[in-house]
Structure 1
Amino acid sequence: MIYLLDTANPELIRKAHEIYPLAGVTTNPTIIAREKNEFLKIIQAIRAVIGAERMLHVQVVGREAERMAREAEYLAGSVGGDLYIKIPVTPEGLKAIKLLKPRGFKLTATAVFTPQQALLAAVAGADFVAPYVNRLDNSGGDGAQVVAAIRKLFDSYGLPTRILAASFKNARQVHEAALSGAHAVTVNPETLDALLQHPLTDWSVEQFIRDWEGVYAKGKCTDEVK
Structure 2
Amino acid sequence: MQLIIDSANLDEIRELVDYYPIDGVTTNPSIIVKEKKNFLQLLEEIREVIGCKRELFVQTLADHAEEIVKEAKYIRENILDKLVIKVPVTKEGIKAIKALSEAGVRTMATTIYTPLQGYIAAKAGAAYITPYVNRIEKLEGNAVNVVKEIVQIIEKHHFNSKVLAASFNNVQQVHDVCLVGAHGVTIPPDILRLCFSHRATEANVKVFIEDWQKEYGEKSIVDTNKIKI
TM bin (shorter chain): over 0.9
Deviations 1:63-88 (A, max 9, x none): 00000000011010001110000000
Deviations 1:36-81 (A, max 9, x none): 1211111111111111211000000100000000001101000111
The answer to whether 1:12 aligns with 2:22 is no
Alpha-carbon RMSD across the aligned residues, in angstroms, is 0.9
CA distance in 2, matches of 1:159, 1:119: 9
Deviations 1:60-118 (A, max 9, x none): 01000000000011010001110000000011000001111111101100000000000
Show the counterpart of 1:195: 195
Show the counterpart of 1:171: 171
Show the counterpart of 2:112: 112
The answer to whether 1:224 aligns with 2:223 is yes
**Secondary structure at the residue paired with 1:22?**
coil
**Secondary structure at the residue paired with 1:111?**
strand
CA distance in 2, matches of 1:153, 1:98: 19
Aligned residues: 225
C-alpha displacement of 1:160: 2.1
TM (norm. structure 1) is 0.97
Same amino acid, percent of matched pairs? 41
TM (norm. structure 2) is 0.96
Query: Aligned letter for 2:206?
Result: E
Instruction: Please list every run of 5 or more consecutive structure 1 residues that lacks an aligned counterpart in the other structure.
Output: none
Show the counterpart of 2:3: 3
The answer to whether 1:63 aligns with 2:72 is no
C-alpha displacement of 1:214: 2.3
CA distance in 2, matches of 1:155, 1:98: 20
C-alpha displacement of 1:137: 1.1
CA distance in 2, matches of 1:211, 1:137: 46
Instruction: Please list every run of 5 or more consecutive structure 2 residues that lacks an aligned counterpart in the other structure.
Output: none
CA distance in 2, matches of 1:204, 1:225: 20
Q: Does the 8 Å contact 2:218/2:224 carry over to 1? A: no
Query: Aligned letter for 2:20?
Result: Y
C-alpha displacement of 1:3: 0.5
Deviations 1:132-171 (A, max 9, x none): 0011111111211110111111111122200000001111
Q: Does the 8 Å contact 2:125/2:160 carry over to 1? A: no
C-alpha displacement of 1:216: 1.5
Show the counterpart of 2:35: 35
C-alpha displacement of 1:11: 1.4
Q: Does the 8 Å contact 2:87/2:97 carry over to 1? A: yes
CA distance in 2, matches of 1:208, 1:94: 55
**Secondary structure at the residue paired with 2:24?**
strand
Deviations 1:164-210 (A, max 9, x none): 00001111111101011110100111001001100110111111112
CA distance in 1, matches of 2:87, 2:193: 28
Show the counterpart of 1:154: 154
Query: Aligned letter for 1:192?
Result: L
